Amino acid sequence: MSGKNVAVVGATGAVGREMIRTLERRNFPLKEIRLFASGRSQGKYLKFQGEDVMVEELTENSFDKQGIDIALFSAGGDVSLKFSPIAAKAGTVVVDNSSAWRMDENVPLVVPEVNSEDVKKHKGIIANPNCSTIQMVVALKPLYDYSKIKKVIVSTYQSVSGAGQKGMDELLAQTKDILDKKEIQISKFQKQIAFNLIPQIDVFTDNRFTKEEMKMVYETIKIMHDKNIQVTATCVRVPVLRSHSESLYVETEKPIGREKAVELFSKFPNLMIMDDIANKVYPTPVEAEDKFETYVGRIRDDLFNPNALNFWVVADNLLKGAASNAVQIAELL
């Protein structure tokens, strides 16, 4: 079988497992797949194309003379900071899903539909953007190409899977305990997440915005190559298992209008319009789950600013927000 030798680092995590599934679902041209995780997972087996593949412990020698062409990393920032340079030095191209390299000026930050040409600038490491940023810039790009964007005000409604398997487990456990009239346990999140909303994702910074919110600011500027885009974000964790939703107000240099926006969205790759309010057609997290595409709906002109649009964007955060975006980058490579 011809193709690339690909490694998935952090293979047993929620995103790692989706990376494996995505390589399979998209028929990535593989010669061999290698799976790496911490020592705790060494010796476990995961399925790929119906075959059992053993999980290996990630060590400093994992990439030495192994001939691994591409490594998809989803094992956290600390692991990436340590092992990505080791892999790159061995000749492997790393596509990293953590925040470790996103704002490094020597590391391209890539969403293939938006800035695929940046892949060519890599020096061994390519960063996968934050999940909430990815789906937003996919929706912004067709508008930006028609008229530069001046301002974005975004509120996110982010599912618990953004916090990994432990986040999903906590929502399910709390929901069951509440229904059973038992005392809930709070561990992964700052407050109760079942039947609740938490207006905090990641830690607060000195400017009173959270790190998650500031990621959306800085990453958008880097991906779009435009320091003049003003982004204000409020990121909220919601009791949804999977898929992030976003409400956007977008102000452009010249008027676009709903009709033109629909035309621009409809022609953009991997962006699907669900916008028929008469028949209650608009995207929801459940409808985006397990899909590679980004969905947009509730497209409307602003009431007061002729140069502004409001719309709603939904995508599966484990796929387009992480695994499938990384695999798309690998496809570009």
Task: Catalogue the active-site residues.
Answer: 131, 244
DSSP code of residue 58: -
Distance (Å, whole) CA 152 – CA 229? 7
The first and second tokens of residue 76, run together, are 């956290």
Q: How far is CA 1 from CA 28, 32, 70, 254, 262, in A?
A: 12, 9, 17, 52, 43
Where in the chain does DSSP place strands (E)?
4-9, 30-37, 45-48, 51-57, 70-73, 93-96, 125-127, 149-158, 230-237, 244-252, 271-273, 294-301, 308-315
Q: How far is CA 113 from CA 102, 116, 141, 223, in A?
A: 17, 6, 8, 11
How many other C-beta atoms are found inside a 10 Å radius of the C-beta of residue 3?
Answer: 12
For residue 211, how many C-alpha atoms fall within 13 Å in the half-sphere facing its CB? 6
Distance (Å, whole) CA 222 – CA 96? 16
The first and second tokens of residue 50, run together, are 């119906």
Distance (Å, whole) CA 112 – CA 92? 20
Tally helices (H) and strands (E) across the chain. Answer: 9, 13
